[in-house]
Structure 1
Amino acid sequence: MTEHDVDISTAITLYLAHFPGADEHEFTARFPDVSVEEEVRAILLETNRIEIEWGNKTLIEIGEEVRHIMHARHPELTEAALRKLGNYFTYLMK
């Protein structure tokens, strides 16, 4: 990575580390460039817009489906970041 590259998986994981709470100081200390937070927020918005057929699925199954969808859209994301996104989605939608 160059100095301008950002590990977006690490940024997502750190941004959601205390979700539903927040530790903005820790995030901004690690990623002072506001464009990183904007990129994370864009991915969170994309996650929020996923349409899931709930049916008889459990929250665990829905979280797994969200992880699969986001992995297909963003194969560069790590499993840890995808888990955070799945948990984020199910927390907001439950």
Structure 2
Amino acid sequence: MSISPVKIWRHQKIISSLLKRKGKIISWTIVRTPPAGYEQEAPYPVVLVKLDDGLRFVGQLVDWEEKDLKFGKKVEAVYRRIIKPDPEGIIPYGIKFRPL
């Protein structure tokens, strides 16, 4: 499988525009039965965040404690590993959220 450098560049441009942006949790759930590849993460929270500019974004909450799972909790977009490396050794990264 080959990955286009243009596709990678476009993806990085989108990710860099989201990094360090802040918002508030407007909904959340706990994933207890994850899809293949995410078993080591379970249980983990997935949050719906309304960023300060009004954009809504869904992502995993990281570095969290039970007290962080509440509506209106301030969070920040961070760049983290999504799942284990694929068979070619490529480590997928993406946006997740961290409580403030």
Question: One fold, TM greater than 0.5?
Answer: no
Q: Structure with the greater relative contact order (CA < 8 A, sep ≥ 6): 1 or 2? A: 1
State the structure with more CA Rg.
Answer: 2
Looking at secondary structure, tell me which structure has more strand per residue. Answer: 2
Q: TM-score range by the shorter chain?
A: 0.3 to 0.5
Q: TM-score, normalised by structure 1?
A: 0.32
Looking at secondary structure, tell me which structure has more helix per residue. Answer: 1
